[in-house]
């Protein structure tokens, strides 16, 4: 099976470890991974601010990058949601690009969805002896419908203790440009989220979107809270390596 990575601009530039973990997990399941060079960003920052032309220019790089792909997998529910929910509309006036956009929607998956629904994997054979809480990101949850997949994967990790997060489904206040443009409101939101992560008693916060994790993690760090913030791919991969040690 061949998968093309849609790495997203945040992971590409800020969190390469997430990308690496993702590639290694996919490799482990015998998937051939490539990274089409011409991709940049899904266009969401511009699109959500109302700059459609600007968004389209970036989004087009994804159409070009993934024309030949069988599957496209991304570490972000939000960026995958952008493709699913808005690409057909973004390219609706262009007959060829709109067909390409619809084709892209059909083959693009967020990582946990791909693992659970396409590869039919729920137990990656990982061991992660820590207390963990999970923040479901809004766009993954609501635009894309990523609900149980991350939890299914986490529930099979050995020795992982998953603790509930109060108000888990409430937005963390990232919202892209919202975090800067409306920073007072965003701060109120992320403070509450970070407080709740701390209250949960978890050592590790896990999520499926780098943007939200950067936001909550940045707040926790500013407050000197020793909670480790990890993307699901990082947690699974780290756990898979530990699982290996134990099973030998």
Partner 1 sequence: MSTEKDAIQVTTIVDRSRLALQDDFLRGAVRFTTERLRGRKAASSEELGNWEAWRERGRQIRSHTIAHLDYYLRQFVDNVQAHGGHVYFAANAEEAAQTIVKIVEKKQAKLAVKSKSMVSEEIHINKHLQERGIEVVETDLGEYIIQLAGEMPSHIIIPAIHKTRSQIKDLFTAAGATNLTTDTKDLTAFARRALRDKFLRADVGMTGCNFAIAESGSVVLFTNEGNGRMVSTLPKTHIVTMGMERILPTFADLEVMANLLPRSATGQKLTTYMSVITGPRRAEEADGPDELHIVILDNGRSSQLGDDEFQEVLHCIRCGACLNVCPVYRHIGGHAYGSVYPGPIGAVLTPLLNQGEAYQDLPYASSLCGACYEACPVKIPLHDMLVALRRRNVEQGRTKWAERMAFQGYRMVFAKAGRYKRVMRLARKAQKPLLRQGYVESTMGPLMGWTESRHAPALAKSSFRERFQSMQQAWRRGEDGGDQV
Which residues 52-91 are close enough to bind partner 1 by CB under 8 A? 52-54, 57-58, 60-61
Alpha-helical segments (H) within 76-165: 77-90, 95-107, 111-113, 138, 149-155
Is residue 147 close enough to count as binding partner 1 by CB under 8 A?
Answer: no
Q: Which of 84, 127, 135, 139 binds partner 1 (CB under 8 A)?
A: 139
Q: Return d(Cα 146, Cα 156) in angstroms, integer.
A: 17
Q: Is 53 exposed, middle or buried (0-12, 13-18, 19+ CB in 10 A)?
A: exposed
* CB of 58 or CB of 132, closer to partner 1: 58
Least distance in angstroms from the C-beta of 100 to partner 1 = 16
Q: Are 10 and 37 in contact (CB under 8 A)?
A: no
How far, rounded to the nearest angstrom, does the alpha carbon of residue 122 sit from its chain's CA centroid? 17
Is residue 246 close enough to count as binding partner 1 by CB under 8 A?
Answer: no
**Which of the ranges 32-40, 111-119, 147-155, 195-203 carries the binding residues for partner 1, by CB under 8 A?**
32-40
Least distance in angstroms from the C-beta of 133 to partner 1 = 18
Interacting residues with partner 1 between 159 and 218 (CB under 8 A): 169-171, 173-176, 178-192, 214-215, 217-218
Interacting residues with partner 1 between 2 and 21 (CB under 8 A): 5, 7, 9, 11-16, 18-20
The answer for residues whose C-beta is within 8 angstroms of residue 220's C-beta and 6 or more apart is 194, 197, 198, 205, 227, 229
Is residue 92 close enough to count as binding partner 1 by CB under 8 A?
Answer: no
Q: What angle do CA 208, 212, 215 make, to 5 degrees?
A: 145
Least distance in angstroms from the C-beta of 165 to partner 1 = 14
**Which of the ranges 51-59, 97-105, 106-114, 147-155 carries the binding residues for partner 1, by CB under 8 A?**
51-59
Q: Are 172 and 212 in contact (CB under 8 A)?
A: yes
Q: Kindly write out the interface string for residues 211-230 of this chain, putting x where it contacts partner 1 by CB under 8 A and - elsewhere.
A: ---xx-xxx-xx--------
Is residue 50 close enough to count as binding partner 1 by CB under 8 A?
Answer: yes
Is residue 122 close enough to count as binding partner 1 by CB under 8 A?
Answer: no
For residues 192-214, b (16+ Cβ closer than 10 Å) or e, as one string?
bbbebbbebebebbbbbbbbbbb
Report residue 185 as tokens.
């409101």
């Amino acid at each position: 099976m061949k998968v093309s990575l849609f790495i997203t601009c945040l992971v590409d530039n800020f969190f390469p470890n997430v990308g690496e973990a993702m590639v290694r997990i996919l490799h482990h399941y015998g998937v051939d991974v490539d990274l089409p060079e011409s991709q940049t960003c899904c266009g969401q920052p511009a699109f959500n601010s109302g700059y459609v032309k600007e968004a389209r220019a970036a989004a087009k790089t994804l159409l070009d990058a993934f024309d030949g792909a069988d599957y496209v997998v991304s570490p972000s529910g939000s960026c995958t949601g952008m493709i699913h929910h808005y690409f057909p509309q973004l390219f609706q006036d262009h007959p060829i690009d709109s067909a390409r956009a619809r084709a892209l929607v059909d083959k693009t998956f967020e990582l946990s969805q791909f693992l659970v629904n396409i590869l039919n994997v729920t137990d990656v054979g990982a061991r992660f002896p820590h207390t963990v809480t999970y923040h479901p990101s809004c766009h993954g949850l609501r635009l894309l419908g990523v609900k149980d997949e991350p939890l299914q994967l986490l529930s099979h990790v050995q020795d992982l203790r998953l603790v509930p997060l109060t108000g888990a489904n409430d937005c963390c206040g990232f919202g892209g440009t919202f975090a800067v443009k409306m920073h007072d409101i965003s701060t109120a939101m992320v403070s509450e989220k970070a407080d709740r992560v701390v209250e949960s008693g978890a050592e590790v916060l896990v999520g499926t979107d780098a943007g939200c994790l950067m936001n909550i993690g940045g707040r926790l760090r500013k407050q000197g809270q020793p909670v480790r913030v990890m993307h699901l791919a990082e947690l699974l991969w780290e756990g898979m390596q530990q699982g290996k040690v134990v099973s030998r």
